[in-house]
């Protein structure tokens, strides 16, 4: 299976700090929400390259001893999320290889729309792939012999790939950050004393007390070495900027600043707008924690209906909790969220969440809220109906499984069993960001900024046996 389609990831990099790997380890902690499935760090001390990666959370993969073995002043790190069954340690990143020009390590966030085609071409010329990752395709392109130096080969490789890619690359004594020309996924630059930091989100800079310098620009390749940073823009004339709007809605951490704005403030605005678009009389506003909390705050402020934390979330659910032997219905939902009966009993409740994808989790949650005594449930969603799959790195299922792709709002309302259902409009969503034309909204509108040949192509890619 082509893994790229299912990946969300977090990236971190350090140049010029004697504790580069330790800072990277901390940075990955702050980016854990971007990927819980595997974590890895590669570092360089001027002579040798070190690396460690493993399956699970950062805290599962690293301990004091493992971090202290990663010496050097340069490091990159990666956390990865994937829902595919074919997940293995082999696919943990950074991908690290020794080749004719030395050692290179790459971490990728996003999805290449032409990853499978490039891979097939490379395989036809005899390339042997060890992983199913897009990053490995980039490495094969880098290793082509016809280029004068590493920079030339990198520019060549970057010009071949299409789609969403934020990259951190460690080429021995050099840290490189790349953002694709559309700027789909975030990547920012920070400073910590004399050291330079790259991170997917600013919340990782905050943790290590690094100063935020700026976001990398779409299409920017930033080389950092002992002479300092140097930028090139190899992709030619500027392309349509297409930041992922879903980063603002759901994926990024609310305490981050991405695409020029505070994620929390954008989410609060979504809640204000939602209240204006779908007013209703109710006693309480309740967020689905944590994803619905900032929008619920905004909706509560706008409607003057009090906010209550009526659903409590258990934060300690690991990926591998042991299922009960006896069948407990909706166990997955119960173990994560529990409503407070005393707040809900007899109340007309507005429940706010950021999105509905398949609808199955929301349905189970709504059932629990009615069982806890809610009289009416008015569901409010701080994004428009998700009708189209994402080919640029957010894990949405196929159109068949996306509930809004195949059902009217009224059908969805009935399926969920709620009293009323209101989604934010596309215009409403875009009114909450400062530069609406710079966003990709393909999952709501089907307007894909980079073509990929339709959904059929996705499945051809996915089931090619990679």
- Residue 244, helix vs strand vs coil: strand
**6 versus 162: smaller Cβ distance to ligand AMP:** 6
The answer to whether the beta carbons of residues 43 and 75 sit under 8 Å apart is yes
Nearest-approach distance from CB 362 to ligand AMP, in angstroms: 3
Q: Between 358 and 387, name the residue whose CB sits nearer to ligand AMP.
A: 358
**Residue 395, Ramachandran bin (φ over 0: left; ψ between -120 and 50: alpha; else beta):** beta
Shortest distance, position 358 Cβ to ligand AMP, whole Å: 4
Joined together, the tokens standing for residue 405 give: 């792709």
- Is residue 260 within 8 A of residue 434, CB to CB? The reply is yes
Judged by the rule CB under 6 A, the positions of this chain that interact with ligand AMP are 250, 288, 291, 353-362, 394-396
Look at phi and psi of residue 254 and say left if phi exceeds 0, alpha if psi is from -120 to 50, else beta.
Answer: alpha
Q: Is residue 216 within 8 Å of residue 189, measured between CB atoms?
A: yes
Nearer to ligand AMP, 105 or 403 (CB): 403
State in angstroms the smallest separation of the CB of 405 from ligand AMP.
12
Which one, 15 or 388, has the nearer CB to ligand AMP? 388
**Distance of closest approach, residue 328 Cβ to ligand AMP, in angstroms:** 19
Helix, strand, coil % over all residues of the chain, rounded to 5 = 35, 25, 40
Query: Is 9 noted as a catalytic residue in this protein?
Result: yes
355 token code pair: 């999105």
Q: In whole angstroms, give the CA distance from residue 458 to residue 31.
A: 28
For residue 443, which of 379, 395, 411 has the smallest C-alpha distance?
A: 395
Give whichever of 150 and 388 is closer to ligand AMP, judged by the CB atom: 388
Nearest CB to ligand AMP, comparing residues 33 and 239: 33
Q: Give the residue among 397, 379, 387, 376 at the shortest CA–CA distance from 444.
A: 387
- Among residues 9, 383, 390, 440, the one annotated as catalytic is 9
d(CA 282, CA 278): 12
Q: What DSSP string describes 106-171?
A: EEEEEEETTHHHHHHHHHHTT---SSS-HHHHHHHHHT-TT-SSHHHHHHHHHHH--EEEEEEEEE
Residues 119, 2: Cα–Cα separation, whole Å: 10
CB-nearer residue toward ligand AMP: 209 or 255: 255
Distance CA 26, CA 19 (A): 11
Residues taking part in catalysis: 9
């Amino acid at each position: 299976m082509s893994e790229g389609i299912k990946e969300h990831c977090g990236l971190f990099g350090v140049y010029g700090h004697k504790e580069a790997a330790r800072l990277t380890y901390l940075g990955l902690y702050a980016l854990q929400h971007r990927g819980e499935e595997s974590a890895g760090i590669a570092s360089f001390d001027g002579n040798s390259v070190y690396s460690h990666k493993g399956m699970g959370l950062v805290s599962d993969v690293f301990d004091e001893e493992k971090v202290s073995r990663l010496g050097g002043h340069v490091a990159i790190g990666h956390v990865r999320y994937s829902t595919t069954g074919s997940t293995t340690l082999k696919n943990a990143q950074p991908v690290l290889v020794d080749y004719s020009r030395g050692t290179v390590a790459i971490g990728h966030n996003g999805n290449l729309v032409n990853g499978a085609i490039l891979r097939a071409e490379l395989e036809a010329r005899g390339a042997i792939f060890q992983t199913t990752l897009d990053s490995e395709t980039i490495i094969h392109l880098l290793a082509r012999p016809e280029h004068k130096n590493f920079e030339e080969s990198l520019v060549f490789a970057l010009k071949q790939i299409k789609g969403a890619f934020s990259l951190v690359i460690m080429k021995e004594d050099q840290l490189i950050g790349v953002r694709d020309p559309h700027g789909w996924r975030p990547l920012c630059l920070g400073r910590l004393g004399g050291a330079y930091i790259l991170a997917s989100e600013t919340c990782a800079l905050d943790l290590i007390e690094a100063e935020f310098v700026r976001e990398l620009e779409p299409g920017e390749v930033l080389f950092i070495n002992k002479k300092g940073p140097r930028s090139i823009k190899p992709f030619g004339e500027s392309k349509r900027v297409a930041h992922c709007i879903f980063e603002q809605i759901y994926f990024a951490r609310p305490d981050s600043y991405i695409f020029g704005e505070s994620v929390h403030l954008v989410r609060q605005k979504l809640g204000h707008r939602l209240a204006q678009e779908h007013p209703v009389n109710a006693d309480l506003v309740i967020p689905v924690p944590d994803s619905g909390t900032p929008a619920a705050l905004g909706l509560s402020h706008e409607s003057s209906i009090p906010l209550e934390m009526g659903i409590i979330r258990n934060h300690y659910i690991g990926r591998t909790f042991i299922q009960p032997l006896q069948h407990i219905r909706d166990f997955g939902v119960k173990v994560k969220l529990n409503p407070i009966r005393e707040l809900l009993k007899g109340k007309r409740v507005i429940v706010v969440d950021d999105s509905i994808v398949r609808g199955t989790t929301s349905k189970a949650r709504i059932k629990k809220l009615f069982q806890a005594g809610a009289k009416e449930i008015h569901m409010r969603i701080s994004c428009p109906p998700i009708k189209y799959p994402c080919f640029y790195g957010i894990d949405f299922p196929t159109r068949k499984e996306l509930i809004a792709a195949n059902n009217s709002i009224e059908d969805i309302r009935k399926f969920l069993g709620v009293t009323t259902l209101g989604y934010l409009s596309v215009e409403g969503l875009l009114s909450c960001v400062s530069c609406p034309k710079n966003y990709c909204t393909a999952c709501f509108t089907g307007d894909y900024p980079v073509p990929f040949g339709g959904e059929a192509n996705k499945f051809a890619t996915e089931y090619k046996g990679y």
